[in-house]
Amino acid sequence: MDAQLEILLQIQDLKGQRRGLEEGRSERQVEEEAFNLRVDEALTGLDEKIDQVMEELDPGVRRRYDRLAGGIDRAVVPVINGVCYGCFVSVATSVASDPAERAKLRNCDHCGRFLYFLD
Ligand SMILES: [Zn+2]
């Protein structure tokens, strides 16, 4: 797998953890101060980690990612059975069936999300 893609997946995973924490918090009572503090700490830690990992992205990839991540919750999606799981439009067969093409960092022609190939 492309190294940049691995970083993108890591970022997405970290953001997912962050979202999970925030959702967990909104389900609890606000007066649970000790709990809130722990969540704040964890969120700060995650934000720092996300920033750190973002630094490892090539500038061009990062720009593309920032543009995408602003509007949607998942900027990196799998291709399963030749279909992009961001927009559910088929990826060109010439790409989906070629191992060399599959290994490259690419974006969906339709929705622009970063793609990774699963079988
Ligand atoms: Zn798509």
Please give the residue range of the domain that contains residue 88: 76-118
Round to whole Å and give the CA distance between 115 and 106: 6
Q: Percent of the chain, pLDDT > 70?
A: 96
Do 9 and 33 belong to one domain? yes
Do 21 and 59 belong to one domain? yes
> How much distance in Å is there from the Cα of 68 to the middle of ligand 1?
12
Counted residue by residue, the chain has a size of: 119
Q: pLDDT tens-digit profile of 50-81?
A: 999 999 999 999 999 999 987 777 899 999 99
What single DSSP character describes residue 29? -
Round to whole Å and give the CA distance between 22 and 114: 25
Do 66 and 83 belong to one domain? no
Mean per-residue pLDDT of the chain: 90
Do 65 and 9 belong to one domain? yes
Report how many domains make up the chain: 2
pLDDT at 70: 78
- Mean pLDDT within 15-33: 81
Do 35 and 63 belong to one domain? yes
Query: Is residue 23 predicted with pLDDT exceeding 70?
Result: yes
Type of residue found at 105: L
Sorted by sequence, the CB contacts under 8 Å of residue 49 that are 6+ apart come out as 14
Provide the residues around ligand 1 (an ion) whose CB is within 5 A. 84, 86-87, 108, 110-111
